Amino acid sequence: MSSLTIPFMDIKRQYTLLSPEIHAALQRVFDRSLFILGPEGKDFEKEFSQYIGVKHGIGVNSGTDALHLALLAAGIGKGDEVITVSNTAIPTVSAIIATGAQPVFVDIDEKTALIDCDKIESKITAKTRALLPVHLYGNPVPMKKIMEITSKHNILVVEDCAQAHGALSNGRTVGTFGHLSCFSFYPTKNLGAFGDAGMILTNDDNLAKKVTLLRQYGEEKRYHTVMNGFNSRLDELQAAILLVKLKYLPQWNKQRKEIAEQYSKCIKNPKITFIQETTTGYSVHHLFVMRTKNREDFRHYLQSNGVGTAIHYPIPLHLQKAYTNLRYKEGDLPITETIMREIVSLPLFPELTEDEVNYIINVVNKY
Ligand SMILES: Cc1ncc(COP(=O)(O)O)c(C=O)c1O
Sequence spans of domains, the chain: 13-246, 249-366
Report the C-alpha gap between 35 and 39 in whole angstroms: 10
Task: Identify the CA nearest to 328 among candidates 49, 177, 105.
Answer: 105
pLDDT band at 116 (very low <50, low <70, confident <90, very high): very high
**Residue 169 Cα, ligand 1 centroid: separation in angstroms?**
20
User: How distant, in Å, are the alpha carbons of 97, 233, 244 from that of 61?
Assistant: 18, 5, 18
In this structure, which residue's CA is closest to atom 5 in ligand 1?
63
HEC assignment per residue over the chain: CCCCCECCCCCHHHHHHHHHHHHHHHHHHHHHCCCECCHHHHHHHHHHHHHHCCCEEEEECCHHHHHHHHHHHCCCCCCCEEEEECCCCHHHHHHHHHCCCEEEEECECCCCCCECHHHCHHHCCCCEEEECCECHHHCCCCHHHHHHHHHHHCCEEEEECCCCCCCEECCEECCCCCCEEEEECCCCCCCCCCCCCEEEEECCHHHHHHHHHHCECCEEECCEECCCCCECCCEHHHHHHHHHHHCCHHHHHHHHHHHHHHHHHHCCCCCCEECCCCCCEECCCCCEEEECCCHHHHHHHHHHCCECCECCCCCCHHHCHHHHHHCCCCCCCHHHHHHHHHEEEECCCCCCCHHHHHHHHHHHHHC
Averaged pLDDT for residues 186-194 = 98
Matching CATH topology for 13-246 and 249-366?
no
Please say if the pLDDT value at position 294 is more than 80: yes
* CATH T-level fold of 13-246: Aspartate Aminotransferase; domain 2 (3.40.640)
Please state the rounded mean pLDDT for residues 55-62.
98
Q: What is the mean pLDDT of residues 200-223?
A: 98
pLDDT digits (tens, 9 = 90+) for 67-88: 999 999 999 999 999 999 999 9
Q: Predicted confidence band at 100 (pLDDT cuts at 50, 70, 90)?
A: very high
Residue 270 has pLDDT above 90, yes or no: yes
If one counts every other C-beta atom within 10 angstroms of the C-beta of residue 152, the result is 10
Amino acid letter, residue 89: A
Confidence at residue 289, expressed as pLDDT on a 0 to 100 scale: 98
CB 81, CB 101: distance < 8 Å: yes
Q: Ligand 1: list residues with CB < 6 Å.
A: 62-64, 88-89, 91-92, 134, 160, 162-163, 184, 186, 196, 198
Ligand 1, residues 184, 200, 230: which to mutate, most atoms within 8 A of Cβ? Answer: 184
Whether residue 158 is predicted with pLDDT greater than 70 in this model: the reply is: yes
Res. 101: pLDDT tops 80: yes
**Looking at the predicted structure, is the pLDDT value of residue 36 above 80?**
yes
CB 136 within 8 A of CB 114: yes
Q: Whose CA is nearest to atom 10 of ligand 1?
A: 63
With a pLDDT cut of 90, the percent of the chain lying above it is 99
pLDDT band at 284 (very low <50, low <70, confident <90, very high): very high
Q: Which pLDDT tens digit goes with each residue over 295-336?
A: 999 999 999 999 999 999 999 999 999 999 999 999 999 999
Mean residue pLDDT of the chain comes to 98
Contacts of 19 by beta carbon, 8 Å cutoff, 6+ apart: none
Give which of 199, 205, 213, 112 is closest to 159, Cα–Cα: 199
**pLDDT over 90 (residue 145):** yes
pLDDT tops 80 at residue 117 = yes
User: What's the rounded mean pLDDT across residues 258-276?
Assistant: 98
Q: What is the pLDDT of residue 1?
A: 65
* CA–CA dist 43, 364 (Å, integer): 44
Judged against a pLDDT cut of 80, whether residue 214 lies above it is answered with: yes
Distance of alpha carbon 173 from its chain centroid, rounded? 14
pLDDT at 27: 98
Q: How far is the CA of 157 from the centre of ligand 1 (A)?
A: 17
**End-to-end Cα spacing for the chain:** 15
pLDDT level of residue 2 (50, 70, 90 thresholds) = confident
Question: Cα separation of 62 and 333, whole Å?
Answer: 29
CATH number assigned to the domain covering 249-366:
3.90.1150.10
Helices 12-32 + 236-246 axis angle, to 10 = 130
